[in-house]
Structure formats: C-alpha cells, structure tokens
Structure 1
Amino acid sequence: MRLEAFRVQNYRSIVDSGWVKIDDIAVIVGKNESGKTSLLRALLKFKPFKPDPYSLDREWPRGKRKDRSAAFEVVTARFLFSDEERAKLAAVDPGYVGLEGIELGKTYEGKFLPRYQPHGVPSARNGASANALLGSDVDKLLIGKPAEVAKTLKDVLTAANPNFADADAAKAKALIPEVKGQLVEAATLMGDAALAQVIGSACDAVLTKLAQSPWDEAWKLVHKWIPTFIYMDDFLAFKGTAHLNQVKQRKDANQLQDDDRTIITILEMAGLDLDEEVTKGGENDREQRMLDMNDASQTLTNEIAQRWSQKKYEVQFNADGYHFVTFVKDESAKALVPLEERSKGFQWFFSFDMKFMYETDGDFAGAVILLDEPGLHLHAAAQRDLLARLKAYAENNQLVYTTHLPFMIDMNRLDNIWIAEDRPGEGTKVHNEWATADKDARFTLQAALGLSWAQSLFIGQKNLVVEGVTDFWFLSTLSTLLGEAGETGLAEDLVVTPAGGASKVAYLATLLMGQELKVAALLDSDEEGLKAQKQLVHNWLLADGDVLMLGTVVGAAGTYAIEDLFDSTYYLEHSKAAYAKELGGKAIKLPAKPEGSIVDRLALHFESQGLTFNKGRVAKRIMKDLATKQAKDLPAATLDGFRKAIAAVNAVVARWS
C-alpha cells in the first residue's frame, strides 16, 4: 500500500492539521515550535517498527480536557492499493472487486478504523460464495479421476446448489457437513477410499474458511500491507563508543537512552548479543574476543554492502573489557576512524542507514520515512548532498521531512512543499498556501527561491564562462544561425554563463568548480582579460587550455574583443544607426591605425565628439537585426570569426568527454 495523504487531530499542539498529500516526498517547512515534530511523532505511532502507543494523558492537547476520548482518531491516513493487492482482495470475495484504496484511522487506544474506498465491503459470506468455494475445491480433486467418479460427485454438488444459493451464511455453513457426507459416501461406494478421505479434509477446510468473514480475511491482508513508519531526528546519531555493562544496566532497568538503542541495534545486525558481550567483557580470553569482533565487523560490512548500494561503509569493532568502540570509514575515507570522531554529517548518515536497514529487515523498501530537521548541523554543500541522498531513500519508499533550512528545499518540486504554522486558537495547521504563510515560513521559501535562481546559472555539467551578457548574446545567436545552416554550433550540452565583467570571471568559475562542474572561460584579449586569465591559470583554478583568449583563437595580434568577430563595416553601420540622433548625420571616422578593439576605437571617436559610446546599445540593435537574418545573409568575415571561436570552445568540450 502506498500512502496518499494523512491528517493529524488532537495531538499535542495539533487540533487539526488538515490533509497533507504525499507522492514520493513531502517537505514540511516552518519555524521552530510550529508543530513540525508533533506531526511526525503522531505519524510514527501509526505503525512503528516497535510498539509505541499514543498516550492520552501526555499527548492530548492542553485546554481540551472535556473532549478527551481514548476512542478518538489521532491519525487518519489514505492508502492506495497496488494492482497485485487489489487482485488479492478480489480473490477473498466478489464484494472486494473494484476497491482502489482504504482510509485508515488510528485511535488513542491503538485501534484501527478501516474505511474501504470507493465502496464498503461485505462483513459475511453468503451461500452462493460457499457453493463456489466447495465446488472449486472438489473440481481440483477430480482432475485425473475416471469420468464416472467425476460425474457422480458433480451430481451431488448440483443437487446441493439450490440450497446453497438460497441460504444465508449460517445456513450455508450448516449444509457443509451434509454435503460432505454425501460426497464421501459416493466416493467410498465407488471404491476410492483415498479420494473419500481427501474430500472429507477438503470439506473441513472449506467449513473452517467459511467460519471467517471476508472482512476478517481482507483485514489480515491489509494490516500486513500497512508500511512501517521510521523516524529519526538530527540528534539520534550514534556516537560509536559505549560501556556495554552500563548499557545492559539501563536496559534491565527499562531506562534505555537513544544511544543505547542504536548500539543494541548495531550489535544485533552484526550477530552479537548484548548480554553475551557483557559476560565476555568480564572474561580473559582476549584472542577469542578479538576473533568475535573481527567476525562481527565483517558480517555487518558484508550486510551493508549487499543491502545498501548508496554508500559503501567498512565497519570494524574493537572491545576491551566492557569498553566497545566502533570504527567506520566510507569509500571516500582513507582510514578507519572512531565513529564519534567523524563529522556530524557522517555520523547522521551512518546512524540512519543502520536504523533504516534494521527497521526494514534489510529491504530498504516499502517504508514511510519521517526525518525531523535533517541536515541541521551540515554546511550548505553537505545539505545539497543530503538532498540527493533523500531522493535515493525515496526511490523505493516514501519520505516526509521537516526543515527551516533554505538549502534543504528542492525548488524543482514545488508541488511537494507544505507549510506548518502555529495559529492562535487553532493550533498547528499544515497547508500549501504560500501567500498566507507566516513571515518565518515565507522567509525560508523566499531564500530557497533566491538560491534556486542563483543556482539556475549552474544547470549544466559543462560550462563556458564569458565576460558579459553581450558575449552570451552574440555567441548563442551565431551558434544557432550556423546550426540552422547545417554547420557546427556550440556543443548542445554546454551552458554559456555571463559573469558580469572580466574581473568577475574568476569568482564565477570558482563557484562552478565548487559544484564539481566542468568549466572553461572565453576572454577578450585586452588588459582586463589578461588579468582574468592570470587569476584563473596561475591560481590553478583552470588549466591553461581551458582559458581561451579571443585574439589567440582567431589569430589576431593585439587587443581583440567579441565585437571584433563582426565584420568592421557591419559593426560600424549598426553603431551609426544606434547613435543616429546624437551623430546628426556625421560620419564615424576611426583612427587610421587599428590600435585597440573596435569598441575602444569607437569610444575614442565618440569622446572626441563630446559623446559617450555604449557598446550595449549597439549590441541590442545588432541582436534585433540578427533575429531577421540567416547565416547566408551575414558578411563572410563575421561568419569566419565566429566559426573559429565556436570551434575552439568545442575543442575544449571534446576533451572533457
């Protein structure tokens, strides 16, 4: 069964949470004390791995004492049946055909209240069902028997059929012994004593089955299908070191702490018994103890490797007397390190994976995982890794987690984000109306949205950083025009990102490299471009071959910028048109000696006329012109320049592949 939606009522700070829908993942966003933890705790007790009953005295909301009732439904959950489950229910009784799911409530006293969807189900089997059961079972027994035997027994069933069909459940059950006697007698008279005995046993089995109502049979199936709910908060990470005799004392006194429970779990998964290890801790056979620890270490390591492909752990146990130490490393670590000396993030991952494996019997599937503020002690990059890990958990399970951290929100999944807020007089409410959320919840979402906008620059595995937006416009547009003409454009999996100036290229490249992405840069061959190249290459951010200088790319000496890729006559034509009003019909006269880029020379000319030249203004006019053009309409010099630039960039991308 798959959880479709849930609702919590009259539990701690929650009067009525409202319905919360869930697909594979649901994220509950809200400030501290908004009721997020209460929501998850109530859900955990719906079907925990180990019994954890609701407490009417401790968990019923304060101020509502007159309404207290052990029969009150704390959690209501809607589940959908799989195709296989629907088929099994239909086989129980025809009345179960067409069922899509079930709404299950659980009361404070621990009773489940099932409501099948979209229709009710029969509570008792009728006579026709009894006849169908008996007839079906006898038919199976007659396979391979002589025709006269089969006919005789079928005649008995045919004679009984009207009585079955018209009878209610009680009368149908009363008829079974009579029909049984007739069938056994017929088989005996024909000399088949073995068949008579088998028929008798079959009739007894049918009678036993009829004593159960189809509701009971179906509920046994449904109860078995309810997924296990697994809970963990950020503070349940196992520290790895313990004094086993003290753990046993707390266990015997029924005063186990969270760390104790985790270590007992890990011992069990490694094939160790707490009581036995405490006994061995007082003995002097160090060699056998070492062998036992070695065997247990390998047992758990193998178990993890076989069951959990997301992370490769190696575990080693060490015990000296009662002192027990867990050493762990993963595939990224070079040495075994005591677990409590690993990072908070590693401790959390390892502890949850152990809990996850234990509470799903090693299947890592079919559970509803409840995580309270995961990643609270992780830095931003680790929170990003945790998000990816949560998606792995949700591949074969369902996941509900709470957070107030912007980096823990996946803005690509807006449909699964819910708001939790404590409203005066109403208690905790959970909803997906962002606009009505309190300012704290809105702040988290706004921050996450801002991060997603920033991160949208980094959406490619292969990235080219250029100086400005005009570089982006020109390269992308000419690449498209060349591609439409059947020539080679920029690699399709390359993302071009403007940095906002040559001085910012190194910063943006650093951010992209921090995301473990492939990065190259295309710079103007001018003073600012050369400074940026020095920053990138000399500081070992990028390899020399991944930093392209435009002048070098096209084989031009001196200063060279993106605008110089255009035919000079074409560029001057659009510059004159862009400044027609200011120029008043005057011609543009560039210096006879072409020193500097065309933009530099235009800037000098405009300055001599008392004007200021803005290359962005010309770029907008060129972009408008290019929108109406095909590659064949452009000057050959323009196409040649951009072909060389695109070829150089593609050569870098090809080296990455």
Structure 2
Amino acid sequence: MKLRKVRIRMFRNILDSTEVAIDERVTCLVGKNESGKSAFLHALWRINPARTKPEFVIQDHYPAWLEKRHRNERKNLEEVEPVEACLEWEPADVKAIEDKFGPGVVSAGAQMRLWKSYGNKLRWESGCSEQQAVKNFIAKNVIPTSKKTAYKQIMDFEALAAQLASDLEESKDSAEDHKLLANAQSALKTLLGNDGFDAAMWTLAEGRLPAFFYFAEYSKLPYSAKIRDVLEKPEGQLSDSEATVRALLRLGGTEKEYMLNPDYERRKRELENVANALTEDVNKYWSQNPELRVQPDITQRTERHPNGQQVVLDELKLRIWDNRHSLSLPFTDHSAGFQWFFSFLAAFSEYEYHDPPMIILLDEPAVGLHARAQADFLRFIEERLAKRCQVIYTTHSPFMVQPSKLERVRLVEDRGKEEGALVSSDVLTRDRDTLFPLQGALGYDLVQHLFVAENNLVVEGTSDYAYLKVISDYLASKARRCLDTKWSIVPVGGADLIPTFVALLGNHLKVTVLVDSRKDGVQRLQRMAKDGYLEKQRIILLGEVLNRKRADIEDLFEVDEYLELYNKAFGKAIKRADLQGNDPIVERIARHEGVSRYDHGRPADVLLRERETILTMLSEATLKRFEDLFERINRTLEV
C-alpha cells in the first residue's frame, strides 16, 4: 500500500491540518520551530508504529487550551480521532484480495481509510465492494436454479448467510438442492470463518499495512548499553534509544547467544560483522571524513545487588576509529551531526528490507550536519530510503529542501489558537518566516548555478520559472521544441530587480532577459543595452512574441486554461465571459475581482502540484505559443 493523504485533528497545536497530500516517494514538511511539524509526525506515527508502541494520551496530546472546555461541553474525548490516513491499494494488494474474493472487488488505485482515536481504537473503511464479492461468491458456488433470482438481489454476506440458512432449512425435501446449499454454506464458512466481510478484509489488509518508523534526536545511540536488557526487554517497553541499540546488535545477523558468548573469537567475529556493515554505509554517505571506522566492543562489569549477590553485566561500548588522525574516540565524543547520522543508519538497518516497506518519519533529520553533509543525507534519502519506502521528513534548513522538487514540499504554519497549525502544499505563498527555507534553498541553488552556468535566462519570479520549466520539460518529453538544456532559469524576485541583476552579472555571464512589455521596465533594459551591459537581442518582450502591445507569461495560455488554474488556486468560478477588455489576463482578472493585484504564484503552484493532469489538457494553441517562445529564447544563444 502507498500512503496518499493524511489529516491530523485535535493533536497538540493542530486543530485541523487540512488534508495533506503525500508524495509517493518523499514529502518534506517545512516550517518554523514549534510550528507543528513534529506534532504532525507524532500523530501519524501512532496510527501503526514500528519499534516502540506509543499511544495517544489525552492529557499529553489534546490541545491544552481546549481540553477543559470540551470536557465541560460533555464531549467524549476518547472518541476523538486525531489521525486519519488514506492509503492506496497497489497491484500486489489487489491480487491478494482477488485471490480471496474474486475480481472487481477493488481496483489498483482505490483507497482505504484509517482512523485512530484517543482511546487508541482503529476504525477503517476498506474501499472494497462487498456487493461484488457476494456476486463473485454466488457465481463460483452453484445455487439451485429455483433460488437464483432471490440470490441476485443480495448485497452483503450477512444477508447471504441468512438466505442460505433459510433455504437450507426449506430444502430438506430436495436432496440435490440441500446438497448444493450445504456446499455453498460450507464454502462461505471457509471464506469468512465466524467473521463478516469487514473482519475478513481486515485480516487480509492488516498484514499488508505499512508500519511507521519514526526517528528523532532522542533516538540516538548511547556510548554504552547493557546487552541482555536490550535484547530481552519486550518491544513495547524499549525506549527509542534502546530500540536503536537493538537494531545495531541485529545488524550483522547478530544473535543473543553469540553476543553473550564467552568464546572471545565467536564474539569478536559477530562484532566485526556489525562494524563492516556500518562502516560501508558511513563511508558511502558521510563525505565529511571518509577515514572513519566503527569499532564496537563488549566489556564486562561486575554489579552488586542490594541482596549482596554479584552479577556480571555485558555492555556494548561503541567507539569510532579515525584513520586521518590515528585515534579512536567514544561515539558520544563525535559531533552531534555524526551521532545522528550514524544512529539512523543503525536504526534503519533493521527495517530496510521489511515487507511491506515501512513509511519513514524523520523529525528534523541532519539538523546538526554541515550544509554539504545535509546534501549527503538528501542523497541517502533518494538513493537508499526512497527506493522502497515512502519518506516524510521535517526541516527548517534551506539545505534540506530540493529546489528541483518543490512539489514535494508542504508548509506548516501555526496561526494561533483560533486556527491552530495548518499544513499546505501552496509553496509559492505564506508568511515570510515559514517561507524562508524555500527561499534559502532557491537562493543557494541559484548561487550554485550562477557560478557554473554560462547561459542564464533571467525572469521576474518563481511563477515564471514554474511555467517555463514545467512546460519545457513536458514538450521535451514529447520530442517537441523546448528550452535548450544550456539554459539556467534564474528568477530574481521581481521586475524591479532585473536591471540590478543584469548590471552586476551581465558583463561576466551570458544573460537573456524575458520580461513583460511594461514601458518603464523595457526602457531601463534598453538603456542598459545601449550602455553595453547586455545585447539588445537578448531582451525578449512577451508582447512581441504574442504580437500584442502588452502581455504577461500568463497570456501564453488560452483564456479558459488559465482561468482553470486561477479558479483552482482561489476556489473561484470565473468564466471567460466575465472578463472585459483585451489587456493582459492578469489585469482583467484583477479588475473583475476588484483588486489591484492578486498573487500570481498560486495558479503556478496548481500547475506544479497537478502537472500530470493539467499538462495533458493543454491545447495545441497554448503549446505552440510556448514552443515559439522557447525557439525565440534559444536563438539568443547564438548572439
């Protein structure tokens, strides 16, 4: 199964997160400290946790400022469901269901929903058709001809069981009918046992339901741990740190009898298995110092109990050998970032090949790492984790956001006691502090590209970037005219900043500028061309491309197509007939809405989020306009 949507309600500072779409590979929750990112993960984790067994506790998790009020209002807080998850049946799941209940009961892509209450009770809807399962059962099991009409009307297995019991009682005088009905009743018993359809489906689904693997700062490894305690303690009683130690001990195929074996050679071999497995991963994904080697060891310590009895305890000690400096140090003497990274490698190793694949929840991963090490961890997520598992992580670091994958980002913003924390995929708007990691990521990406990209296409803002990049990629996939791969698209944050950008870098880099046709901006750029800052041919006016006096990038779309984006973004229902005039469409919409300007980023965000659906619906006229623009831009490479 794949997790597709999540909704959190009444959990810590989240009153209603709204429905949050989950990417099929990686989802990144971005927000300020205390915005609600961790609360979102904590609530989701509890629906089906791996490693430890946390539960919902009203006193700890219900919004503190509402708990007393809601109790006074006689609300049963035990029945409040703080988490709702929507999962998608995949082809392998569908096959398992069809093997049991026959074809058509569920289709790939159909969704099941799970809820969990503060009473820690699960509720679910399978998304499967019991009526179709009944129909399949009747088709498979021979029913007496005289009874078939009645059975065609049956909608569920409860009614089917009642009908079979009734008909069986009535058919005592007909041996043949009695035998057929008895066989059908026996087959029904075999199919469902003593349960109904929902219970039988849950038995099938439960084993295919992904567990949630949560890892945070307090899950890190300690320097030492008592081996017997960790290996023998029930799973539900392990702390997060102890669970990580247990994963480390199991990493090399380590069993308790080997780790505690008095034979030195046997014990040493097991420790080397652990060291080799971890060292390989550390060297592959820790570029900060590739000269590190893991050195686990077991020591024995004598402890005297209050009754006077002496007990010998076997303890795991963890050291890291640094070949660069020819010394080893206790694990906890290394940087906080390295401790986190190493601990996660150990913890995840236990579940990497778990079937069904885990859903990984990472709370502020790599927060103690240098920017380049954070890039290493992003690579680790892409190459290692997301190959089998869905990953959801929180961050407030610009270096943990991938500018090329903004569709994966969900912004988390706490709007106070009235609204609580909200989670949104609207990445091109929100308050400045919440947006900072995205701006920082884009800025860092921009700086990286500016020093290596020879040809830069300068545009006003991120919405221009989104339209050009998404549609160019789509046209390229269809072997049609698109932007040359030599271009690096550079959004500078507004028309007023374009001349400054060109003045600073135009003499050092090849810069082509794409702008609307507003008189003041064009005149400034033309003066700069006259002064030698850039070639006049490298100033591209959208109005000229469209053979109009004035135009914006939004005018490349057919009016109805852009209105589709606008209406989805703002929840409106504007039609072409509502717009007056022939000026740029953004001005006509603003005039109709009675505002001077609206957020141009939100329609572009709709295209980012729903690109697969929207791109296939674009008209040939729209695609031709973008092709003409890209051809005009590409010609400036020859200037």
Please indicate the TM-score interval, normalised by the length of the shorter structure. Answer: 0.5 to 0.7
In the TM superposition, 1:452-531 aligns within 5 A as 452-457=445-450
| Contact 1:8–1:14 (8 Å) recurs in 2 | yes
1:224 aligns with 2:207: yes
| Contact 1:231–1:370 (8 Å) recurs in 2 | yes
Alpha-carbon spacing, 1:15–1:206, altered in 2? closer, same or farther (3 Å):
closer
| Contact 1:293–1:317 (8 Å) recurs in 2 | no
1:82 aligns with 2:90: yes
Q: Which amino acid aligns with 2:220?
A: A
Secondary structure of 2:27's partner?
strand
How high is the TM-score relative to the length of structure 2?
A: 0.57
Q: Deviations over 1:482-536 (max 9, x none)?
A: xxxxxxxxxx99999xxxxxxxxxxxxxxxxxxxxxxxxxxx9xxxxxxxxxxxx
1:260 aligns with 2:242: yes
Secondary structure of 1:402's partner?
strand
Identity %: 25
Out of 198, 222, 232, which is 1:239 matched to?
Answer: 222
- For residues 218 and 246 of structure 1, the distance between their equivalents in structure 2, rounded to whole angstroms, comes to 38
| Contact 2:341–2:366 (8 Å) recurs in 1 | no
Query: Where does residue 317 of structure 1 map in the other structure?
Result: 296
| Contact 1:15–1:427 (8 Å) recurs in 2 | yes
Secondary structure of 2:60's partner?
helix
How far does residue 15 in structure 1 lie from its aligned partner after superposition? 0.8
- For residues 148 and 367 of structure 2, the distance between their equivalents in structure 1, rounded to whole angstroms, comes to 68
How far does residue 157 in structure 1 lie from its aligned partner after superposition? 6.8
- For residues 103 and 165 of structure 2, the distance between their equivalents in structure 1, rounded to whole angstroms, comes to 18
- For residues 235 and 6 of structure 2, the distance between their equivalents in structure 1, rounded to whole angstroms, comes to 36
- For residues 416 and 380 of structure 1, the distance between their equivalents in structure 2, rounded to whole angstroms, comes to 20
How far does residue 172 in structure 1 lie from its aligned partner after superposition? 2.1
Q: Which amino acid aligns with 2:139?
A: A
| Contact 1:242–1:324 (8 Å) recurs in 2 | yes
In the TM superposition, 1:347-358 aligns within 5 A as 347-358=339-350
Query: Where does residue 505 of structure 2 map in the other structure?
Result: none
Unaligned 5+ residue runs, structure 2? 287-291, 301-313, 456-483, 489-507, 509-527, 540-639
Secondary structure of 1:231's partner?
strand
Query: Where does residue 41 of structure 1 map in the other structure?
Result: 42
1:382 aligns with 2:373: yes
Q: Deviations over 1:174-195 (max 9, x none)?
A: 667979x9689999xxxxxxxx
In the TM superposition, 1:613-632 aligns within 5 A as 617=531, 620=534
How far does residue 230 in structure 1 lie from its aligned partner after superposition? 1.0
How far does residue 268 in structure 1 lie from its aligned partner after superposition? 3.7
Query: Where does residue 110 of structure 1 map in the other structure?
Result: 120
1:294 aligns with 2:275: no
370-379 vs 293-302, greater mean Cα deviation: 293-302
Alpha-carbon spacing, 1:234–1:112, altered in 2? closer, same or farther (3 Å):
same
Alpha-carbon spacing, 1:620–1:353, altered in 2? closer, same or farther (3 Å):
closer
Secondary structure of 1:225's partner?
coil
389-398 vs 11-20, greater mean Cα deviation: 389-398
Secondary structure of 1:413's partner?
helix
Alpha-carbon spacing, 1:275–1:101, altered in 2? closer, same or farther (3 Å):
same
| Contact 2:375–2:399 (8 Å) recurs in 1 | yes
Out of 59, 84, 93, which is 2:61 matched to?
Answer: 59
How far does residue 309 in structure 1 lie from its aligned partner after superposition? 11
Alpha-carbon spacing, 1:407–1:296, altered in 2? closer, same or farther (3 Å):
same
- For residues 206 and 283 of structure 2, the distance between their equivalents in structure 1, rounded to whole angstroms, comes to 30
Q: Which amino acid aligns with 1:55?
A: V
Query: Where does residue 72 of structure 1 map in the other structure?
Result: 80
- For residues 255 and 11 of structure 1, the distance between their equivalents in structure 2, rounded to whole angstroms, comes to 24
Secondary structure of 1:64's partner?
helix
Out of 187, 190, 202, which is 1:208 matched to?
Answer: 190
CA RMSD of aligned residues (A): 4.9
Alpha-carbon spacing, 1:158–1:14, altered in 2? closer, same or farther (3 Å):
same
How far does residue 371 in structure 1 lie from its aligned partner after superposition? 0.9
Secondary structure of 2:77's partner?
coil
Q: Deviations over 1:93-115 (max 9, x none)?
A: 56624471122222222233323
Alpha-carbon spacing, 1:80–1:130, altered in 2? closer, same or farther (3 Å):
closer
Larger radius of gyration: 1
Secondary structure of 1:48's partner?
coil
| Contact 1:311–1:330 (8 Å) recurs in 2 | no
Secondary structure of 1:396's partner?
coil
- For residues 166 and 248 of structure 1, the distance between their equivalents in structure 2, rounded to whole angstroms, comes to 56
| Contact 2:12–2:64 (8 Å) recurs in 1 | yes
How far does residue 214 in structure 1 lie from its aligned partner after superposition? 3.0
How high is the TM-score relative to the length of structure 1?
A: 0.56
In the TM superposition, 1:154-169 aligns within 5 A as 168-169=159-160
